Amino acid sequence: MIANDMVYSNPDEAFVSSSGRGTFLHEFGHAHGLYHNESFDQMRAGAPNVIMGGTGDHIELTGDESWYIHNFWNLVNGVTNLYASSFRLNPGGLAGTFTPTTTVRLCPGQTWPVAFTVGNNGQSNQTFNQRIFVNTSPPNSGYSGGFDWGYWTGGTVNAFGWVTWDAGSWSIPTSWPREQTLWIYHQVDYDNHVSELREFDNIVHASMTIIVGSVASCGQ
């Protein structure tokens, strides 16, 4: 039976919520022999489900589920795929890597804590570079271009694994546009060092947005 009170459209990639698509994938996991697993998984016992970024479906298999399918069903070897997620796994469950889930007003020179999550559905460890940037455009038009916030080089995620990096507090540059809503983006393997099965899930926007105050309001 299919619950008619669930939403089956592609969920927003940045907000923790229940998803009909995630529920479908979760139940199909049970049908193929998967039990509940309280990790960074679709097979968590309770909602929400893990969500990925990009231009495709935001509900995908995570590392544990991919490992099972590859090994149990003896699928083709050599698959490589990284994905960006706006979620992190906290002791209390899934949460966003940026908080709050609203717009924050900041001035140049002020700092904000930066964290980002990358998963690896592939069969080998991967090392890659990442870009954090802002853009005045929302997804999907905001996925390219924009204004740099910083880079994270040489990050490694093991096969069928995931990592959340807490990158410390980053300063707001003076070069960013003023008094405009800025969307925050995290791009995995931005320089295309890794050849992947799916390239479209390598970028994600955060639930938080930023407005940099005017020169008059910030004093600079």
Please report, for the domain that includes residue 209, its CATH number.
2.60.40.10
| The predicted structure's pLDDT at residue 48 | 79
Q: In total, how many domains does the chain have?
A: 1
Q: Is residue 138 domain-resident?
A: yes
Phi, psi of 114 (to 5 degrees): -115, 130
Q: Does residue 36 lie within any of the structural domains?
A: no
Q: What string of pLDDT tens digits covers the 220 residues of the chain?
A: 455 667 777 888 888 777 788 888 888 888 888 888 888 888 888 777 888 999 988 888 888 888 887 777 666 567 789 999 999 988 778 888 988 899 999 999 999 999 999 999 888 899 999 999 999 999 999 999 999 999 999 999 999 999 999 999 999 999 999 999 999 999 999 999 999 888 999 999 999 999 999 999 998 8
pLDDT of residue 1: 44
Tell me if 63 is assigned to some domain. Answer: no
Taking the C-alpha atoms of residue 196 and residue 90, their distance in angstroms, rounded to an integer, is 28
- Within a domain: 162: yes
Asked whether residue 73 is assigned to any structural domain, the reply reads no
pLDDT at 75: 62
pLDDT given for residue 96 in this prediction = 87
Supply the range of the domain harboring residue 167.
78-218
* pLDDT of the residue at 158: 95
Query: 178 in a domain, yes or no?
Result: yes
